[in-house]
Protein backbone atom coordinates (compact mmCIF):
# COMPACT_ATOMS: atom_id res chain seq x y z
CA UNK A 1 0.00 0.00 0.00
CA UNK A 2 1.42 3.36 -1.01
CA UNK A 3 0.65 7.05 -1.30
CA UNK A 4 -2.88 8.22 -0.59
CA UNK A 5 -4.02 4.66 0.17
CA UNK A 6 -1.37 4.32 2.88
CA UNK A 7 -2.21 7.78 4.26
CA UNK A 8 -5.92 6.95 4.53
CA UNK A 9 -5.23 3.55 6.11
CA UNK A 10 -2.88 5.12 8.66
CA UNK A 11 -5.56 7.69 9.47
CA UNK A 12 -8.12 4.89 9.79
CA UNK A 13 -5.98 3.07 12.35
CA UNK A 14 -5.51 6.27 14.36
CA UNK A 15 -9.28 6.84 14.36
CA UNK A 16 -9.89 3.24 15.45
CA UNK A 17 -7.45 3.54 18.35
CA UNK A 18 -8.97 6.87 19.47
CA UNK A 19 -12.54 5.60 19.13
CA UNK A 20 -11.82 2.43 21.06
CA UNK A 21 -10.00 4.37 23.78
CA UNK A 22 -13.01 6.68 24.11
CA UNK A 23 -15.31 3.65 24.29
CA UNK A 24 -13.20 2.08 27.04
CA UNK A 25 -13.12 5.40 28.92
CA UNK A 26 -16.92 5.65 28.75
CA UNK A 27 -17.30 2.08 30.00
CA UNK A 28 -14.91 2.58 32.91
CA UNK A 29 -16.40 5.94 33.92
CA UNK A 30 -19.98 4.76 33.30
CA UNK A 31 -20.53 8.11 31.57
CA UNK A 32 -21.78 7.54 28.04
CA UNK A 33 -22.27 11.21 27.17
CA UNK A 34 -19.70 10.98 24.38
CA UNK A 35 -21.46 8.07 22.63
CA UNK A 36 -22.20 10.19 19.50
CA UNK A 37 -18.52 11.18 19.31
CA UNK A 38 -17.48 7.54 19.70
CA UNK A 39 -19.87 6.50 16.91
CA UNK A 40 -18.64 9.25 14.59
CA UNK A 41 -15.00 8.35 15.21
CA UNK A 42 -15.64 4.68 14.50
CA UNK A 43 -17.88 5.08 11.45
CA UNK A 44 -16.93 8.39 9.84
CA UNK A 45 -13.30 8.08 10.91
CA UNK A 46 -12.23 4.43 10.98
CA UNK A 47 -14.68 2.92 8.49
CA UNK A 48 -14.74 5.69 5.86
CA UNK A 49 -10.97 6.18 5.92
CA UNK A 50 -10.44 2.43 5.52
CA UNK A 51 -12.87 2.32 2.58
CA UNK A 52 -11.07 5.25 0.95
CA UNK A 53 -7.73 3.48 1.53
CA UNK A 54 -8.89 0.29 -0.12
CA UNK A 55 -10.41 2.15 -3.07
CA UNK A 56 -7.11 3.91 -3.75
CA UNK A 57 -5.26 0.63 -3.22
CA UNK A 58 -7.49 -1.11 -5.78
CA UNK A 59 -7.10 1.77 -8.26
CA UNK A 60 -3.52 2.97 -7.68
CA UNK A 61 -3.34 5.23 -10.74
CA UNK A 62 -6.27 7.26 -9.37
CA UNK A 63 -4.38 7.72 -6.10
CA UNK A 64 -1.48 9.33 -7.96
CA UNK A 65 -3.60 12.27 -9.10
CA UNK A 66 -3.46 15.62 -7.31
CA UNK A 67 -7.22 15.48 -6.70
CA UNK A 68 -6.70 12.34 -4.58
CA UNK A 69 -4.17 14.17 -2.41
CA UNK A 70 -6.64 17.05 -2.05
CA UNK A 71 -9.29 14.49 -1.08
CA UNK A 72 -7.02 13.07 1.62
CA UNK A 73 -6.14 16.43 3.18
CA UNK A 74 -9.70 17.80 3.00
CA UNK A 75 -11.05 14.65 4.63
CA UNK A 76 -8.25 14.42 7.22
CA UNK A 77 -8.37 18.03 8.38
CA UNK A 78 -12.15 18.39 8.39
CA UNK A 79 -12.65 14.94 9.93
CA UNK A 80 -10.28 15.62 12.80
CA UNK A 81 -11.98 18.99 13.31
CA UNK A 82 -15.36 17.28 13.27
CA UNK A 83 -14.40 14.68 15.87
CA UNK A 84 -12.69 17.14 18.21
CA UNK A 85 -15.48 19.69 17.78
CA UNK A 86 -18.14 17.11 18.55
CA UNK A 87 -16.23 16.01 21.65
CA UNK A 88 -15.98 19.62 22.86
CA UNK A 89 -19.65 20.29 22.10
CA UNK A 90 -20.82 17.23 24.02
CA UNK A 91 -18.50 18.13 26.89
CA UNK A 92 -20.66 21.21 27.36
CA UNK A 93 -19.18 23.97 25.20
CA UNK A 94 -21.87 25.08 22.72
CA UNK A 95 -19.68 27.96 21.48
CA UNK A 96 -17.83 25.40 19.31
CA UNK A 97 -20.89 24.91 17.07
CA UNK A 98 -19.80 27.33 14.28
CA UNK A 99 -16.43 25.58 13.94
CA UNK A 100 -18.13 22.20 14.16
CA UNK A 101 -20.45 23.29 11.36
CA UNK A 102 -17.52 24.32 9.16
CA UNK A 103 -15.77 21.00 9.82
CA UNK A 104 -18.98 19.10 9.02
CA UNK A 105 -19.38 20.92 5.71
CA UNK A 106 -15.73 20.24 4.91
CA UNK A 107 -16.16 16.54 5.67
CA UNK A 108 -19.25 16.40 3.46
CA UNK A 109 -17.29 18.18 0.71
CA UNK A 110 -14.66 15.45 1.05
CA UNK A 111 -17.32 12.80 0.44
CA UNK A 112 -18.63 14.73 -2.57
CA UNK A 113 -15.08 14.91 -3.91
CA UNK A 114 -14.71 11.15 -3.40
CA UNK A 115 -17.93 10.57 -5.35
CA UNK A 116 -16.52 12.75 -8.15
CA UNK A 117 -13.29 10.71 -8.11
CA UNK A 118 -14.66 7.20 -7.58
CA UNK A 119 -17.90 6.96 -9.54
CA UNK A 120 -16.36 7.46 -13.00
CA UNK A 121 -13.74 4.83 -12.15
CA UNK A 122 -16.18 2.16 -11.01
CA UNK A 123 -18.65 2.86 -13.85
CA UNK A 124 -15.96 2.90 -16.56
CA UNK A 125 -16.68 0.45 -19.37
CA UNK A 126 -13.94 -2.13 -19.80
Break the chain into its structural domains and give their ranges.
3-123
Region of residue 30 (phi > 0: left; psi between -120 and 50: alpha; otherwise: beta) = left
**CA separation (Å) from 104 to 40, 50, 98?**
11, 19, 10
Q: What is the pTM of this model?
A: 0.91
**CA pair distance 109, 41, nearest whole angstrom:** 18
- In angstroms, the CA 19 to CA 12 distance is 10
For the chain (126 residues), the mean pLDDT of every run of 10, in chain order, is: 95 96 96 94 95 97 96 97 96 96 97 97 86
Supply the Cα-derived Rg of the chain in whole angstroms: 16
Would you say 77 and 29 are in contact if contact means Cβ atoms under 8 Å apart?
no
Amino acid sequence: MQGVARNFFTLAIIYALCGMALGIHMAISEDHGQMPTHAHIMVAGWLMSAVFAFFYHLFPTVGLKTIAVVHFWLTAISGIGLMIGLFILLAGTPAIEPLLGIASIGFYAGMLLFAFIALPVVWKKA
